[in-house]
Chain A
Amino acid sequence: MEVALLSVENVSIYYHTPQGETEAVRDLSFSVRRGEFVAVVGPSGCGKTTVLSLIMGLNPPSKGQVRFPQGPCPMGYMLQRDNLLEWRTLERNAQLGLEVRHALNKETKARTVGLLQKYGLGDFLSYLPGQLSGGMRQKGALIRTLALDPELLLLDEPFSALDYQTRLTLADEVFSIIHEEGKTALLVTHDIGEAVSMADRVLVFSDRPATLKKEILLDFPREMTPLVRREQPAFQEYFAAIWKELEK
């Protein structure tokens, strides 16, 4: 079997507040292979985001460990809201990560502009975020993440702040971008349809403390986009299966 890119092993996480101790995650294990698109679904507040910040290294596990068996893995994090800086143009927003890492040069600049152009934002380079639509802003945020050329993308409910129609079309675009750029992705969402339409594999989390309840492999042709997937009979079956699992 192929060596995993990311391996979460027997992780438990406790939260400490003056009111007491909360077990957010209990004995969680899963792995992600290179090039895979994995979705995590679970009830709201079940600790999905905690798992992403754990992988990102922003908060340490109380027990267990996170390993990258293939060596250090550059990661990009996409948040629920785009958080574009209102005083920077789209182009300069997309370069923010490069600036922070002192990696801004002619080459990386051209690459970032190339990404913006390739994914339909070429005409808006000098626009401020306030002049862009919600979908464009979130796409800009994705490109800001991609500009650092991460291997693994951590997507934290990246579509949930958008209206329904934008959500569907943007999911389609983001799916294509991630496949085209050959990235590995871990998507956290409470939207079952989103998970089924985008992922290769869905991990169903339990209510807090989060444990892995079930793992569901999705058997769709690789090139089939989310919008087409939604029209397949299998989509409904997977949806129902995950729904039932969450209800339990």
Chain B
Amino acid sequence: MMPYSKEHEAYLRSRRIHGQRVHICRILVLFLFLALWELGGRLGWFDVFILSGPSRVLAAIGRLWAEGSLLLHVGVTLYETVLGFLLGTALGILLAVILWWLPFLNEVMDPYLVVLNALPKIALGPVLIVWIGAGMGSIVVMAVLISLVVTTVTVLGGFTASAEEKQLLMRTLGASKGQTFLKVVLPAGVPHMMSALKISVGMSWVGVIVGEYLVSKSGLGYLIVYGGQVFKLDLVMASVVLLCLLAALMYGAVALLEKRFQK
């Protein structure tokens, strides 16, 4: 390989430095936030009973761990979310495939899909509890409902927009509808499916937490509601911090999946 010119080397160096700067500043922001939160409490700028603090959050997590219930709560919530996410995405994509395949049905269902998409699914919470019972079932169904419709709408949009001319090409080659779907529409829809996955990861968390607010005896959503009711704000904050970590992890996993598909 040709050695780079001085100018190009300088360019590469400045890019590297820029990247490092962004990285350092990101960490600094987090550190500053935690420091202010902790210090503010200790110096009496605000009441730690209301706003808690990093050390109190850590202590709360430590207590949960000591009680042996930390893994239970995290596990329950994670299990519900992953299940809701997978079911919602799978059903959503399946529905999109069916609607793409049957344009007449698609046209008929279109206004209903629009209304379902606009409807705050949370409103169905009480109904679900009556229908399914106060338990994990209702929570998972809530997560499925929230991620399902948005997945269907996003993926279907990708399918129908994907390259009408490429579909014409397939017709000139004599392809059947199934072949056109498998060889053109589905692969062309992968980016849309990936963005649907990213949206529905967030949606499943919303569904699960709301579900847990309404009915649950364990899980992070339960801890938040319980902590709020008995004024243990440390517990509430600890649960929120744990949620942040879990949601970021799950989003990261989906982003990783997307990268693999883009290759």
Q: A81-B165, A83-B166, A87-B187 are in contact. Are A58 and B172 (CB under 8 A)?
A: yes
Number of A-B pairs, beta carbon distance below 8 Å: 36
- Nearest residue (CB) in B for A76 is B172
User: Which residues 62-94 in A have Cβ within 8 Å of B in the complex?
Assistant: 76-77, 79, 81, 83, 85, 87
Asked if B175 is an interface residue, CB under 8 A from chain A, the answer is yes
Asked if A99 is an interface residue, CB under 8 A from chain B, the answer is yes
Q: A83-B163, A101-B174 are in contact. Are A96 and B183 (CB under 8 A)?
A: yes
Asked if A35 is an interface residue, CB under 8 A from chain B, the answer is no
Q: Are A58 and B173 interface neighbours, CB within 8 A?
A: no
* Complex CA–CA separation, A148 to B174 (angstroms): 11
Q: A83-B165, A85-B166 are in contact. Are A77 and B175 (CB under 8 A)?
A: no
Asked if B90 is an interface residue, CB under 8 A from chain A, the answer is no
Asked if B55 is an interface residue, CB under 8 A from chain A, the answer is no
**Range of interface residues on chain A?**
10 to 19
Asked if A61 is an interface residue, CB under 8 A from chain B, the answer is no
**Range of interface residues on chain B?**
10 to 19
Asked if B122 is an interface residue, CB under 8 A from chain A, the answer is no
Contact residues in A for B172 (Cβ distance below 8 Å): 56, 58, 76-77, 79
Asked if B184 is an interface residue, CB under 8 A from chain A, the answer is yes
Q: Are B165 and A100 interface neighbours, CB within 8 A?
A: no
Interface string of B97-141 (1 = CB under 8 A from A): 000000000000000000000000000000000000000000000
Asked if B34 is an interface residue, CB under 8 A from chain A, the answer is no
Among B172, B184, B187, find the residue whose CB has the most chain A CB atoms closer than 10 A: B172
- Nearest residue (CB) in B for A141 is B169
4 further A-B contacts with Cβ under 8 Å, apart from A79-B165, A79-B169, A83-B166, are A83-B163, A85-B166, A96-B173, A96-B183
A residues contacting B by CB (< 8 A) are 56, 58, 76-77, 79, 81, 83, 85, 87, 96-97, 99-101, 148
